[in-house]
Amino acid sequence: MLANERGLIVGWIGKIAIAFIIAGVVIFDAGSILVNLFTLDSTADEIAIELSIRVGTGTPNQQELEQSAKELATAADARLLGVEVDAEKVVRIRLRRRADTLVVERIGFIRNWALATADGQAGST
């Protein structure tokens, strides 16, 4: 009788441990995806501000602007999708970055959940 109770308790503790591990992985992946999304958004704005300062009042060279934007994006572990300056000297930038996850990035049909795209813009001073 005592052996059955020990087996029941060990089984119950094992199930709780597995549930905690699964919950931890889900919480970690969800948190990583959300942090990636919000930090990428602010990173895009920061890069746009930096580029608008570099543009200043002069005529921007598109090739130099793209190179600077690419370097800043790479430093932020992001990929530059596009950068442009309009007639009013407003810099617009688009970045993409994949979140570091434990499970989501390894499952094909949900892999894109870890991918975030953000736009940033800033006017020159």
Higher pLDDT, 116 or 87: 116
pLDDT at 53: 86
Q: Rounded to whole angstroms, how far apart are CA atoms 21 and 28?
A: 10
Q: Rounded to whole angstroms, how far apart are CA atoms 112 and 103?
A: 12
Residue 8 pLDDT exceeds 60: yes
What is the average pLDDT across 28-40?
95
- Which of 8-17, 31-40, 93-102 bottoms out in mean pLDDT, i.e. has the lowest? 8-17
The pair of structure tokens assigned to 112 is 């894109």
Residue 4 pLDDT exceeds 70: no
Task: Please classify residue 66 by burial: count the beta carbons closer than 10 Å to its beta carbon, then call 0-12 exposed, 13-18 middle and 19+ buried.
Answer: middle
Supply φ then ψ for residue 52, to 5 degrees. -65, -35
Higher pLDDT, 39 or 86: 39
The pair of structure tokens assigned to 61 is 């060279």
What is the average pLDDT across 77-85?
93
Look up tokens 């890069």; give the residue: 47
pLDDT at 124: 55
Model confidence over 52-76: pLDDT tens digits?
888 776 767 788 889 989 999 999 9
- Residue 117's pLDDT band, with cuts at 50, 70 and 90, is very high
Neighbouring CB atoms inside 10 A of 101's CB total 21
Q: What domain range is 22 assigned to?
A: 2-123
Give the number of domains in the chain: 1
Give how far Cα 35 sits from Cα of 29, 56, 88, 90, Å. 10, 32, 32, 27
The pair of structure tokens assigned to 85 is 């300056």
